[in-house]
Structure 1
Amino acid sequence: MAQKIIIDTDPGQDDAVAILLALASPEIEVLGLVAVAGNVPLALTELNTRKICELAGRPDLPVHAGCAAPLERKLVTAEHVHGKTGLDGIELPEPAMQLRPGHGVDFIIDTLRREPAGTVTLVPIGPLTNIAEAFRRAPDIVARVGRIVLMGGAYFEVGNITPTAEFNIYVDPEAARIVFRSGAPLVVLPLDATHEALTGRDWVEAMRALPNRCGPAVASWTDFFERYDREKYGSQGAPLHDPCAIAWILRPELFEGREINVEIETQGEFTTGMTVADWWRVSDRPANALFIRHLDRDGLFALISERIARLP
């Protein structure tokens, strides 16, 4: 049976590729998508989510708007990476599909209560605000979550928004702390793994040559996305962070990591948003996450290529 998931997202070019990967995969049933403020404000992330669904030929999917700001902080965004729309690189038409009524947090709560316990995976690929707020409003749903597979955090690679913090966790560290301490099973795709998912020119041009509309869109997003990483890191490509979360669900054998304890720093003078990952198990804190350290880059991109080719 297909794995039922809810995608919680703040598109973002790499979010867009993650959504396309999920929608192209028969092993996954996307129950709905919830937008969150993150890479850009909520008005743009919910719009971008609907644009991506229409691009993939799935205007039937429920898309809900979630939280417009972190639980306790002012929103930090990343237009410097993703452009003013969050999806710079190709201009997509205004979507005909409408937002579904109701708050995205309520959609998460209602879905987890409706579906059999343990059958729904939450896939947050932006800040964890919506998930934490759902857990705060409805503590009973935590035990009903099959697992949470999230993109966020870092350990060996340290930060990409501060010297010690990865963007998704930094935007709402209080939310991240709630989720990491919830007791729900966690799989964490941090920068340590996702920085191994570097695009390359051959792959981008292969996407551009696909005889569908999704492949060239992915190529255009990647063209835009790569320029930031080339300037910042001197790399030849850009890491596709968020597709790694979907790929783990599809092909966990492409990844390696270990069960460790991860705590979230919320008050450090220089370390707010840091994922304090006890990789070497030097504390006595119990493991609360499968923390991924490495991935098979060639296997990952072969999977993405094969699936994107299936789309309209």
Structure 2
Amino acid sequence: MVKKEAQKDWDEFTSSRVVEKSNIDNAKLVVRLQKPKGKVDVVIDTDTYNEIDDQFAVAYLVKSDEKLNLKAIYAAPFHNEKSTGPADGMEKSYQEIMNILALLEREDLKPYVYRGSTAYMPSETEPVISDAAKDLAERAMDYSEENPLYVIAIGAITNVSSALLMNPEIKNRIVLIWLGGNALHWPHNREFNLFQDVAGARIVFGCGVPLVQLPCMGVVSAFTTSGPELEYHLRGKNKLCDYLVDVTTKEALECYGGSTWTRPIWDVTAVAWLLDGDFEEDCLMHSPIPEYDDRYAFDNNRHFIKYVYHIKRDNLFADLFAKLAK
């Protein structure tokens, strides 16, 4: 019933709209892919229950309010051993977002949390209607090329790609920062956020939306922490920090094992790209093409994206720990 009502509401919103596709302008993309100066509005799309790094990222964003003005949080779908399917993963993520906001004592943000897709995109032309996709498709219209809405995505890209299909005009009003795919030099591109919805990934890499890619294996995989480091910097600082240390340690022992484990806190890096610190190195490159067989294809006639190729691990963890413990 909720899905049908969302579809009806969206049909009413779009019934009188005519959105024309425009050619991709590389000169404009280069300008729009520059890091913003001053405070900016952001939304975050997150599969928060999937891994502990999402909780770190959401908390880091909320505590970076000197730079980032959080407008909405979207629950993204995921399917692995922690969920029975993408719908269950999305709902568990929605509930975990609420848990993190409670630990942050930010009850004021809870009305701006939206449930996302309950399935992945069936094709590259069919959006999955959800409250999250509908909100992004509407919210972004309040922005412009000169003053965009920044979209941080740290899960399967279904909500964002659906919004782009529902209202293609928003690609001229947003900048997308997505942690997805592996490094171009990695031997394969079977990365969790990407392979769940390859159709959605092909949309965001191909439609001309300003895109900042943070590849996982080969780049962000270097952003690791350990149990002793978390205990030293976060234990006893506040309820949130204790929760993050406990859950990270539990997950690490289950997934990695051993007494000397380290674990990537991947998703923090997507938030950090928007901050003013010296945290990452990036470059312009032609947008690669995610294929359905776990590889990239390349075409130097395609438009530019911004590609992050190095994480300054120590600088970023210093800022993260200081803000979380604050």
Pick the TM interval, shorter chain: 0.7 to 0.9
Question: How far does residue 181 in structure 1 lie from its aligned partner after superposition?
Answer: 1.1
The 8 Å contact of residues 154 and 267 in structure 2, kept in 1 or not, is answered as yes
* In structure 2, distance between residues paired with 1:290 and 1:135: 19
Aligned to 1:83: none
Aligned to 2:183: 155
Question: How far does residue 202 in structure 1 lie from its aligned partner after superposition?
Answer: 3.2
Secondary structure of 2:274 counterpart: helix
Question: How far does residue 157 in structure 1 lie from its aligned partner after superposition?
Answer: 6.6
Structure 1 residue 58 and structure 2 residue 83: aligned? no
Question: How far does residue 29 in structure 1 lie from its aligned partner after superposition?
Answer: 0.7
* In structure 2, distance between residues paired with 1:252 and 1:168: 26
When residues 29 and 242 of structure 1 are mapped into structure 2, their CA distance, relative to the original with a 3 A threshold, is: same
Secondary structure of 2:212 counterpart: strand
Amino acid at match of 2:177: V
* In structure 2, distance between residues paired with 1:45 and 1:264: 29
Aligned to 1:138: 167
Aligned to 1:113: 141
Amino acid at match of 1:15: D
When residues 167 and 235 of structure 1 are mapped into structure 2, their CA distance, relative to the original with a 3 A threshold, is: farther
* In structure 2, distance between residues paired with 1:10 and 1:226: 18
Aligned to 1:170: 195
Which string of whole-angstrom CA distances, capped at 9 and with x for unpartnered residues, describes residues 270-304 of structure 1? x2xx344x6xxxx5233432111111111011010
Residue 122 (structure 1) aligned to one of 113, 137, 151? 151
Which string of whole-angstrom CA distances, capped at 9 and with x for unpartnered residues, describes residues 95-146 of structure 1? xxxxxxx71111111211124543310001000001110010101111111x
When residues 236 and 251 of structure 1 are mapped into structure 2, their CA distance, relative to the original with a 3 A threshold, is: farther
Residue 217 (structure 1) aligned to one of 239, 243, 249? 243
When residues 59 and 179 of structure 1 are mapped into structure 2, their CA distance, relative to the original with a 3 A threshold, is: same
- Between 29-38 and 53-62, the greater mean CA deviation after superposition: 53-62
Matches within 5 A, 1:230-245: 230-231=256-257, 236-245=261-270
The 8 Å contact of residues 133 and 163 in structure 2, kept in 1 or not, is answered as yes
Question: How far does residue 222 in structure 1 lie from its aligned partner after superposition?
Answer: 1.6
Question: How far does residue 185 in structure 1 lie from its aligned partner after superposition?
Answer: 1.3
* In structure 1, distance between residues paired with 2:120 and 2:154: 15
When residues 267 and 190 of structure 1 are mapped into structure 2, their CA distance, relative to the original with a 3 A threshold, is: closer
Amino acid at match of 2:156: P
Tell me how large the CA RMSD over aligned residues is. Answer: 2.3
- Mark the runs of 5 or more structure 2 residues left unpaired by the alignment: 1-37, 84-88, 124-129
Aligned to 2:92: 44
TM-score by length of 1: 0.79
- Mark the runs of 5 or more structure 1 residues left unpaired by the alignment: 74-101
* In structure 1, distance between residues paired with 2:194 and 2:139: 25
Secondary structure of 2:164 counterpart: helix
Query: How many residues get paired?
Result: 268
Question: How far does residue 231 in structure 1 lie from its aligned partner after superposition?
Answer: 4.7
Aligned to 1:87: none
Greater Rg over alpha carbons, structure? 2
Which string of whole-angstrom CA distances, capped at 9 and with x for unpartnered residues, describes residues 38-85 of structure 1? 154211111111111121111222100011111028xxxxxxxxxxxx
Question: How far does residue 156 in structure 1 lie from its aligned partner after superposition?
Answer: 5.3
Which string of whole-angstrom CA distances, capped at 9 and with x for unpartnered residues, describes residues 180-231 of structure 1? 1121111111112211101023321024424311111111122023235535
Structure 1 residue 6 and structure 2 residue 47: aligned? no
* In structure 2, distance between residues paired with 1:210 and 1:251: 28
TM-score by length of 2: 0.76
Secondary structure of 1:154 counterpart: coil
* In structure 2, distance between residues paired with 1:210 and 1:235: 22
The 8 Å contact of residues 279 and 311 in structure 2, kept in 1 or not, is answered as yes
When residues 29 and 275 of structure 1 are mapped into structure 2, their CA distance, relative to the original with a 3 A threshold, is: farther
* In structure 1, distance between residues paired with 2:207 and 2:278: 26
Amino acid at match of 1:128: I
Aligned to 2:274: 249
The 8 Å contact of residues 9 and 124 in structure 1, kept in 2 or not, is answered as yes
When residues 251 and 194 of structure 1 are mapped into structure 2, their CA distance, relative to the original with a 3 A threshold, is: farther
* In structure 2, distance between residues paired with 1:210 and 1:285: 53
Aligned to 2:22: none
When residues 197 and 174 of structure 1 are mapped into structure 2, their CA distance, relative to the original with a 3 A threshold, is: same
Percent identity over the alignment? 23
Which string of whole-angstrom CA distances, capped at 9 and with x for unpartnered residues, describes residues 154-177 of structure 1? 125737xxx531110000010011
